[in-house]
Amino acid sequence: MTVNEIALKETREARTYRLRWWILITIAISVLVVILDATVMNVALPTIQKQLNASSSELLWMVNVYTMILGSVVITFGGLGDRWGRGKLLQSGLLVFGLSSLGAFLSTTPTLLIVSRVFMGAGAAMIMPSTLSILTAVFPENERGQAIGVWAGINAIGIALGPIIGGLLVEHYNWNSIFLINIPVAVVALILGWFLIPDSKDLHPPKLDLIGNLLSLVGLSALIWGLINGSSRGWTDSAVLAALIGAVVVLAVFVFWERKSSHPLINMSLFRNSGFSTGISILVIIGLAMNGIIYVLTYYMQFVQNYDPLGAGVRFVPFAVGMLLGATSSAKLVKLWNSRWIIALSYAGTGIVLGLMSLLKADTSFWTLGTEFVFFGLLMGCAMAPVTNIIMSSLPKANTGLGSAINNSFRQIAGTIGVAISGAILGSLFTSHFLASAAAIQGLPAQIIQKASDSVGMAVGIARSGQLPAAAANSLTQLAHDSFMHGWNAVMLISSGIMICGAILAFILIPGTAGNRGQDK
């Protein structure tokens, strides 16, 4: 490298450091648009079904295909970012996401909307690993925890804002306006990124692992599809079983291939890095618990507390505020103690909060739930940012894109598993409790009992439809609420146990502090 090249490199690095917080703002905007779209669509589904004459299976695909594509191709794109350039991949992802959002806005049939959602998921899979790997490259180690805390906090804001924005737009405009808002946000992020985002890549990338990429894509797609559809189609459904068994086989072949390949997509030696493997293990526990709980809470607020979609979305704000505060303050807490204690105590505290949430009743005041929401979010935020920092700090710079993608993929899969497990437990306990008690209700036909036993949403919908006498409708609603809370109690206690186990695991596996406080080995 010549003297001029060295001077130019130093100038670029100095500029990047000087603009690092502006770069963080650009990344925050990029992350926000992806997280918003993961939650904004749910409140628009009834309107979409009516205006596009969509079937229930088409509605399911509109929601789930985004998650499926995001989770299954993110590893492929993460490796591509290391090879091609993380800044280039981020810009390309924003462009794909913006154009496919325009396609969704203009969709006039369910098929066109589903296709647009496929490309939106691909764009999101390009954006997410790029943002985290760029943060890791831009911020020095002593500031990285704070930057990742902001990144995690933006995730929380997106989770809460999605239903609120979606409800407002659907109520005052049309369903397709939920996609139109993505376009100006993507354009702003593109313009800022053009001037601010530095490009970085592996200077000596291995050969492209085409077979590994294909096996990863097929295996993860089948796994996520099976998990998403298991609770709705039944876990013994032939297509679900075929997808899950096929996923296990393909992913086993993928691991075998990666271990033997001279140029693997995923270098399996990464998992021999204790920081990386420990961080991934702890992160999986967050996904298992948090996504399942939010899924169950959505039903609780809409069908038990009787809030409309917008009202339910607004009531997630305390959770988002708590998570934002926890994520952005976690770096300071780690400096006072260390990651082991912060993560372990956050997990243990979350377990206690979930245990308290298991005591909620159908008519519990939102002041109680909202208070628990704040602490739930605060503790999750305190844990998520340090865990992510452990994962990213354990990686060599050449593999930050791939490591970020693995981080996102495992979190996505864990979240999907969490929703599937919570949904299965809730559904099974609801049905058994409902059927055991429904015979005592006078004037409730057997066919109505069987249909209403499917879910709390179905039961409450029947009660509100006017097809039953008022007394029977009220009794049906009460029974639906009681049966739901029976399942709720079990889900919360199981999730509490998972978090307590996570606290023990974190304390055992995460190394303690040596030397300066807050600097983990």
Q: What DSSP assignment string belongs to 37-80?
A: HHHHTGGGHHHHHHHHT--HHHHHHHHHHHHHHHHHHHHHHHHH
**Burial degree of 1 (CB within 10 A; 0-12, 13-18, 19+):** exposed
195 in the same domain as 310 = no
192 in the same domain as 275 = no
177 in the same domain as 61 = yes
**What is the structure's pLDDT at 520?**
39
pTM of the model: 0.79
The most confident of 78-82, 149-153, 225-229, 448-452, by mean pLDDT: 448-452
179 in the same domain as 90 = yes
Q: What is the mean pLDDT of residues 97-126?
A: 92
Structural domain harbouring 327? 264-521
Give the model confidence (pLDDT) of 339-391 as tens digits.
Answer: 889 999 999 999 999 999 999 999 899 899 999 999 998 998 898 888 888 88
Q: 245: how many CB neighbours lie within 10 A of its CB?
A: 12
Q: Is residue 147 part of a domain?
A: yes
The tally of domains found in the chain comes to 2
Rounded Cα distance between 496 and 492, Å, is: 6
Residue 521 reports pLDDT greater than 70: no
Residue 227 reports pLDDT greater than 50: yes
* CATH code where residue 192 lies: 1.20.1250.20
Name residue 354's amino acid. L
Q: Is residue 211 part of a domain?
A: no
Q: What is the mean pLDDT of residues 493-507?
A: 93
**What is the structure's pLDDT at 372?**
93
Residue 174 reports pLDDT greater than 60: yes
The residues near 431 (Cβ < 8 Å, ≥ 6 apart) are 453, 454, 483
**What is the structure's pLDDT at 502?**
92
Q: What is the mean pLDDT of residues 386-399?
A: 81
180 in the same domain as 284 = no
Q: Which residue has the tokens 């998990």?
A: 227
Name the percent of the chain lying above pLDDT 70: 93
Q: Is residue 39 part of a domain?
A: yes
Residue 7 reports pLDDT greater than 60: no
Q: What is the mean pLDDT of residues 260-286?
A: 83
Task: Tell me the pLDDT of the chain averaged across its residues.
Answer: 83
145 and 334 Cβ atoms separated by less than 8 Å = yes
Q: Which of 483, 492, 484, 379 is nearest to 435 (CA)?
A: 483
Among 183, 205, 227, which residue terminates a domain? Answer: 205
Q: Is residue 42 part of a domain?
A: yes
Q: What is the mean pLDDT of residues 30-55?
A: 78
Q: Lowest-pLDDT range, 171-185, 223-237, 375-389?
A: 223-237
Residue 159 reports pLDDT greater than 80: no
Q: Is residue 136 part of a domain?
A: yes
Q: Is residue 224 part of a domain?
A: no
Among 165, 181, 205, which residue terminates a domain? Answer: 205
**What is the structure's pLDDT at 3?**
46
Element holding 93 (H helix, E strand): helix 86-106
Among 205, 230, 251, which residue terminates a domain? Answer: 205
Alpha-carbon torsion (152, 157, 160, 163), positive or negative:
negative
268 in the same domain as 134 = no
pLDDT band at 6 (very low <50, low <70, confident <90, very high): low
**What is the structure's pLDDT at 518?**
36
Q: What is the mean pLDDT of residues 275-291?
A: 85
288 in the same domain as 196 = no
74 in the same domain as 192 = yes
Q: What is the mean pLDDT of residues 142-165?
A: 78
Q: Is residue 280 part of a domain?
A: yes
Residue 426 reports pLDDT greater than 90: no
337 in the same domain as 486 = yes
Q: What is the mean pLDDT of residues 184-195?
A: 89
**What is the structure's pLDDT at 298?**
77
308 in the same domain as 179 = no
For residue 174, give both structure tokens.
């049309």
pLDDT band at 329 (very low <50, low <70, confident <90, very high): confident
Query: How many residues in total does the chain contain?
Result: 521
23 in the same domain as 90 = yes
Q: Lowest-pLDDT range, 19-23, 56-60, 459-463, 491-495?
A: 56-60
Residue 515 reports pLDDT greater than 50: no
Q: Is residue 277 part of a domain?
A: yes
Q: Lowest-pLDDT range, 149-153, 237-241, 371-375, 513-517?
A: 513-517
**What is the structure's pLDDT at 245?**
95
142 in the same domain as 26 = yes
Helix, strand and coil percent figures for the chain, each rounded to 5: 85, 0, 15
**What is the structure's pLDDT at 438?**
84
